[in-house]
Amino acid sequence: MNKMTAYFAPDTNFFLQCLRLENIDWTAVTSDTSIVLIVVKEVQREIDRHKSGGNARRAKRAREVSAALREAIRARSDEYLVTAGSHTVSVRIAPRLPQNRLRPEELDLTTADERIVEEALACSRALGVDISLLTDDMTPLLAARDIGIGAIAVPDIWLLPPEPTDTEKQLRQLQSQVEHLMGRGPLLKVEVLHQQSTITRFDGALIRHRELSPDFIDRAVEAVLSAFPMEGTEKHAYVSYFGFAEYRDDYQEWELELRRRIESLPGYFNTLTPPTVLTLRLTNEGVSSADHVVVDISTGGNICLANQAPIKNTPQNASSIFRKPPAFQNVAPLHALPSNAARSLGAEPVFPISVPTPKREFRWSAIDGDRFSQHIQGECDDFRHVLDPHIKELQIEGFPGDTDRLAGALRIRISARNVAMPVESLVPIRMQVSFQDSERSAAELIGRELGVVM
């Protein structure tokens, strides 16, 4: 026999569950360039059985192999040839074997797998060549080893991917139908962006000032009161009782305001650092409007949303945070405080929006919280597919505290009356907090605005 020829007895699954012969890389199992595949009687029988049974792919492959073997029988060659790269593959029908041949007692010939092993051994003896079993199953591999016949496991690269079950095929069909129906109505899509790039998670940093200690607040108030004590009446020749009483009330109110503003300075300083802003982009890519869209945005962990737009001033050009105390004028009641004295130390509030909003625009409101919230909601009566995407900026914050790590997630859920399933998105958030010296910053601001050195 030709030493450059390798002989194999493949099992049934080789023909049904592997690549086609011309696409197989035979170098994975042999260095020979001529391949002979012996199709034993049990494999022939199983191929005939699979022609009209099993799943669609196995039946189709079984019919193809059966047709090729029938053609070989008609041509009286009992084989057909296939070229696979540099290899020539001959698929041959096994010779008829004697019924009274000796069979190994170790084999269980009631099983198809071990009948294939026995027939491979008998063909090897009848042809006078070494034939190796070719299979992907454990049972015939072990049986071949036990009786001393060669056996090679089918390489994984030869195997076809598993064929979908009937249930999986039905699910795919239903999914295709749903996608088709969705394409006829509104199709909502949500993206979260940071610096104009879509993100699926966010890792950032925050610069924050801790709350001032009660001791520092007391010392700061005392220092300012020492620099601006309440005036007495001794330097005035005539003192109006009502005028002095009005002055005293104004001074005491100024003192209370002074303490409140010193206490609020960390929050003010925090508004001066660049905010962390994520952008929500909502689009309707369908062919019709979405009716009464509701967008729920919530955060988890110690992550929250700031319900105020960040102020754009810096400490160098901001309006004064502090005002000097009122002066005793010994005349009519003092005028009201200047308008800038009562401004917020934070920023102008965004929520709630009380002005009328057109039905094609979104109305946003905070469900919980005042300055900070973990749940906000937007509504739009008629979200048109032809409009530009709706853009919503979300300022990410952490709840006040001393922790240097913030962890949570941004959850977005969008629903509409004429959309079957809500659209949901989850963006994990991790932020590292860097704390600044609040007392130093407060002392510098008091010194700059009031001329008081602490």
The per-residue pLDDT for range 282-311, each reduced to its tens digit, is 999 888 888 999 999 999 888 999 876 544
Q: According to the model, what pLDDT value does residue 234 have? A: 58
Place of tokens 């190796």: 132
| 204 pLDDT higher than 50 | yes
DSSP class of residue 97?
A: P
| 50 pLDDT higher than 50 | yes
Residue 284 structure tokens: 């309707």
pLDDT confidence bin for 400, thresholds 50/70/90: low
H runs (alpha helix) in 95-240 = 112-127, 138-147, 166-182, 214-227
| 55 pLDDT higher than 80 | no
Residues 385-407 as b/e (b if ≥16 CB within 10 A, e otherwise) read: beeeebebebbbbbebeeeeebe
| 129 pLDDT higher than 50 | yes
Q: Say whether 72 sits in a helix, a strand or coil.
A: helix
Sheet holding 363-366, edge to edge: 202-209, 423-436, 405-415, 290-299, 375-383, 363-366
Paired sense of beta strands 131-135 and 5-10, if any:
parallel
Q: According to the model, what pLDDT value does residue 221 have? A: 93
Residues 240-271 as b/e (b if ≥16 CB within 10 A, e otherwise) read: beebbebbeebbeebbebbeebbbbbbbbbbb
Q: Could you read off the pLDDT of 224-235 as tens digits, one per residue?
A: 999 999 876 555
How far is Cα 285 from Cα 289, in angstroms, rounded to an integer?
10
Q: According to the model, what pLDDT value does residue 319 have? A: 58
